């Protein structure tokens, strides 16, 4: 099966936590839409039974930062990334990133290891930003050299741009929620491809934190970008 559906990896992949803190009553409008779209399907798709959207958010981050959003993620590199992980965690919809959710440092190091496997010729940096909310200045962390992995209660997004309190996202499950209306566009500030735009006030950021990826050098040249 092809790993890259261009220009985004848009397989139906969801991240779910223990039901005790992620019941439908606590979902944002956005998360509830994802949940409803999944429940309306009679045939199982990728994402119904797994929790790997963290990995797809990382893959979309790598594609964005490498300026190669129109190319597929090589199957070999995807496999090398998977080999780093306890694959059972991400094939079990009840786990996903749950084992690292309470350890921000461990989660960001895992993210760094994963993206480095996807693009071994590039040099990446990673940091966790905390105490995030609807009024946070996300644009301060989003540059031509950076993106943000943004978790909600149900899903991990790759935040590629922000402007006027709107989040422009690469979402691996948007094709399922949007159906025939699925489309991709170019963001207003950083001119990046996105497939979902949401006002920050409608996003319930899990634990009020996110992971910032920045690239210091990019393949194939390896020249310093900063």
For residue range 126-157, list pLDDT tens digits in order.
Answer: 999 999 999 999 999 999 999 999 999 889 99
Domain residue limits at 117: 19-217
Whether residue 122 is contained in a domain is answered as yes
Whether residue 7 is contained in a domain is answered as no
Strand ranges inside 101-209, DSSP E: 123-129, 146-151, 156-163, 166-170, 185-186, 193-194, 196-199
State the pTM of this model. Answer: 0.79
pLDDT higher than 80, residue 61: yes
Q: Among 89, 18, 104, 10, which Cα is nearest to 57's?
A: 10
Whether residue 24 is contained in a domain is answered as yes
pLDDT higher than 90, residue 225: no
More confident residue, 214 or 30: 214
Q: Name the domain count of the chain.
A: 1
- The CATH number covering residue 61 comes to 3.90.70.10
Q: Which residues of 126-158 are buried (b: 16+ CB within 10 A; e: fewer)?
A: beebeebeeebebeebbeeebbbbbbbbbbbbb
More confident residue, 108 or 180: 108
Write out pLDDT tens, residues 64-89.
998 766 678 889 999 999 999 998 88
Whether residue 2 is contained in a domain is answered as no
Tokens found for residue 102:
């309470």
Q: How far apart, in Å, are the Cα atoms of 200 and each of 9, 128, 188?
A: 23, 18, 16
Whether residue 137 is contained in a domain is answered as yes
Whether residue 151 is contained in a domain is answered as yes
Instruction: Read off φ and ψ for residue 92, nearest 5 degrees.
Output: -105, 110
Whether residue 142 is contained in a domain is answered as yes
- At 218 the pLDDT is 64
pLDDT higher than 90, residue 106: yes
Give the pLDDT band of residue 220 (cuts 50, 70, 90). Answer: low
Instruction: In whole angstroms, give the CA distance from residue 134 to residue 164.
Output: 11
């Amino acid at each position: 099966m092809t790993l890259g559906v261009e220009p985004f990896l848009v397989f139906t992949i969801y991240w779910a936590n223990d039901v005790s803190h992620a019941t439908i009553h606590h979902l944002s409008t956005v998360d509830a839409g994802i949940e409803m779209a999944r429940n309306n399907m009679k045939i199982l798709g990728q994402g119904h039974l797994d929790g790997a959207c963290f990995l797809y958010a990382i893959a979309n981050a790598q594609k964005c930062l490498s300026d190669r959003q129109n190319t597929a993620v090589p199957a070999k590199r995807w496999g090398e990334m998977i080999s780093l992980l306890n694959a059972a965690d991400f094939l079990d919809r009840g786990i996903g990133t749950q084992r690292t959710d309470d350890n921000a440092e461990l989660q960001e190091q895992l993210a760094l290891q994963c993206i480095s496997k996807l693009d071994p010729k590039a040099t990446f940096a990673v940091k966790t930003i905390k105490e995030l909310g609807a009024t946070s200045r996300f644009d301060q962390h989003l540059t031509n050299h950076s993106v943000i992995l943004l978790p909600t209660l149900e899903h991990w997004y790759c935040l590629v741009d922000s402007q006027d309190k709107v989040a422009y996202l690469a979402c691996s499950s948007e094709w399922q929620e949007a159906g025939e209306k699925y489309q991709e566009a170019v963001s207003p500030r950083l001119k990046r491809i996105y497939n979902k735009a949401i006002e920050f006030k409608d996003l319930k950021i899990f634990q009020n934190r996110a992971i910032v990826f920045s690239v210091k050098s990019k393949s194939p040249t390896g020249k310093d970008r900063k």
